[in-house]
Copies of this chain bind each other. A is one copy, B any other.
Amino acid sequence: MAQKPSIPKGTRDFSPAEVAKRQYIISIIKNNFEKFGFQPIETPSFENSETLMGKYGEEGDRLIFKILDSGDFYEKKLEENIEKEDSSISIYISIMRIFKEVSTYIVKNKINNEFLEYNESEKLKNDIELINLMSYKIDEWTAVYQFSNINFGILFKNILSRNLEYFLGKIIDYVRNRGLDFKQRRNDINIENNLIIAERNIIKQLSIHFINELKVNYNITEITSNYISKNISEKALRYDLTVPFARYVVQHQNEIEFPFKRYQIQPVWRADRPQKGRFREFFQCDADVVGSKSLWQEVELVQLYDSVFTELGLEGVTIKINNRKILSGIAEVIGAKDKLIDFTVALDKLDKIGEDGVKKEMIEKGIAESAIEKVQPLFNFTGTISEKIDQLSALLAESEEGMKGVEELQFICDNVIKLGLNKSILDLDVTLARGLNYYTGAIFEVAPPKSVAMGSIGGGGRYDDLTGIFGLKNMSGVGISFGLDRIYLVIEELNLFPETVSSTTKALFINYGEKESFYAMTAIKKLRNFGIKVELYPDAAKVAKQFQHADKRCIPFAVIVGETEMNKEKFALKNLVSGEQVSLDFEGLKNALL
């Protein structure tokens, strides 16, 4: 019965050393969040499906992990579905019903009336007549479906009509064999078997054809999976921390004192295809303020990034900033609001493919040459932040929204620069276009030091209507997020984890037997009272094995308490790195390990 143990793809076990390193990063983030006045909240791992669904776009919905209802869900749903006949399994059942009904009807009538006699090799003589007969039957059935299934009924009938020949062709194929079957089957088990396989194949083909029709011609994708999900799942694992936060704010609005600065460090789950560095369960570390439009918050969030990365020892992190209103302004100036993403994507390649390459791509994407000329300064967008802002100011002079963006950017950058950053670099990046669907003001993204080849290690921005979807209007929010996994990799690569990060046991007491162990335990108890991490090897195993254990666990000291030491009320403390050994009384031992 032994199972070979494994974990689901895209998930991870964390060993003690990994937990210690993760905790080290998290505790620095947490301490800085609190230093900046953010307060922790925690929300449940799963939310009601309606809280999450529809908040992350179509793709997001697909990537949300749904939780099956517990208990007798299927029996209950079965009863409900039979009651309503509004059923996700209807497609398959419908096909099968029609198929069985029609084919049986034909076989019976034709054979009974001796209207048709056919053999294995001969084609049916008058398919047309058969089709007419079957059309009647199908009409009858789709009529039933129109009564019984408000969702699928009309679709079903439409698809049947459009694909009548295909469906009937399949059925006729089957009917031919079925005719054969009625003559020979009782004597031949192979024929019976073949018929079963043939029948299944046809039903399968028809079902797939039908589902495909639904997808292709009615733009209904994954209709059955979604339908089933809705029917048997009411809960889903959270996909990020922002939507649960918005839900929290609305639900607890009467208890919350606004502006509300909250942080949240919890795992989220996404059914993404797992790949290197992308997991199905990962931690998000978010800090958001809700309830104030003050730009001082953007200033503070930049400082917060700087403060965390400085404390982590990372030098040269680039905090990129942009503003949604500037992007809107550019779109206005180039006269192509719908081309904004194409524009920024192309512009972002300036370093790689050069000005001509970028312009070529823009033109390919349908942006007019004259429009591109209007934003020529963006192709030589260099200089200090204040010089860049001046250029933007000139460029966007005609766009009211653009100028509002420039003004916001100026306030934030000016103050960040005047107050000073520790080890991070602020940069204005007009190609920064993350979260275009929801950010309305500042947009942030953080790049690791240039020596590390890695994507962004943080991001955020302002959204003017964070909680509107849950019914609380006019709540502006701004927030940032830290990418724990990537920060971990960066710190690992740059060798910046302190050696003391995993606080292992300081000393292992060697076990020489019951009496000696009791003596050791007396000392261990007292040492622990001083907060010193010490352990007794649990068994009186061979001494070499015990030392090996200390070695493998990187425990720096061993304490040897044999009979000699007991009698003298001493402890032999052995430094396992240097090999040095000293004899100490308890006080000396304590001081040596403290």
Residues of A within 8 A of B (CB): 1-8, 11-16, 19-20, 22-23, 31, 34-37, 39-48, 50-51, 62-63, 65-68, 70-75, 78-79, 82-83, 85, 88-89, 92-93, 96-97, 100-101, 104-105, 108-109, 112, 143-144, 147-148, 192-193, 196, 200, 203-204, 207-208, 211, 222, 224-225, 228-229, 232-235, 237, 247-248, 250-252, 255, 257, 259, 261-262, 267, 269, 271, 281, 289, 292-294, 296-297, 299-300, 303, 307, 415, 418-420, 468-471, 503-505, 511, 517-518, 521-522, 525, 528, 531-536, 538-539, 549, 552-553
Contact = CB atoms under 8 A, between A and B. Distances in A.
Given A7-B48, A112-B112, 6 more contacts: A11-B46, A20-B40, A45-B45, A46-B281, A67-B68, A72-B225
B70 A65 contact: yes
B299 A521 contact: yes
A41 B67 contact: no
Nearest to A70: B271
B44 A200 contact: no
B74 A228 contact: yes
A62 B71 contact: yes
A13 B248 contact: yes
Given A65-B70, A89-B92, A419-B522, A528 B148 contact: no
Given A112-B112, A200-B82, A200-B85, A50 B3 contact: yes
B36 A14 contact: no
A203 B82 contact: yes
Contacts of A92: 78, 82, 89, 93
A352 B208 CA distance: 67
A528 B470 CA distance: 35
Contact of A225 (B2, B74, B281): B74
Contact of A70 (B62, B89, B96, B147): B62
Contact of A7 (B43, B62, B192, B517): B43
Contact of A23 (B40, B415, B419, B532): B40
B255 A15 contact: yes
Contacts of A255: 15
Contacts of A192: 143, 147
A294 B539 contact: yes
B553 A257 contact: yes
Given A70-B62, A93-B96, A5 B51 contact: yes
Contacts of A289: 538
Given A251-B13, A294-B538, A42 B67 contact: no
A420 to B, nearest CB: 8
A42 B68 contact: no
Given A63-B70, A66-B68, A144 B539 contact: no
Contacts of A531: 31, 35
Nearest to A249: B5
Nearest to A533: B35
Nearest to A186: B140
Nearest to A109: B108
Contacts of A532: 35
Contacts of A535: 36-37, 261
Contacts of A35: 528, 531-533
Contacts of A104: 101, 104-105
Contacts of A14: 41-43
Contacts of A503: 34
A92 B92 CA distance: 12
Nearest to A416: B521
A1 to B, nearest CB: 7
Contacts of A281: 44-46
A42 to B, nearest CB: 4
Contacts of A85: 200
Looking at A12, A74, A222, the one whose CB has the most chain B CB atoms below 10 A away is A74
Contacts of A66: 67-68, 70
Nearest to A537: B259
User: Top 8 closest A-B pairs, CB basis?
Assistant: A2-B471, A70-B271, A11-B44, A294-B538, A16-B39, A37-B535, A74-B225, A14-B42
Contacts of A511: 296
A470 to B, nearest CB: 5
Nearest to A418: B518
B67 A7 contact: no
Contacts of A247: 5, 7
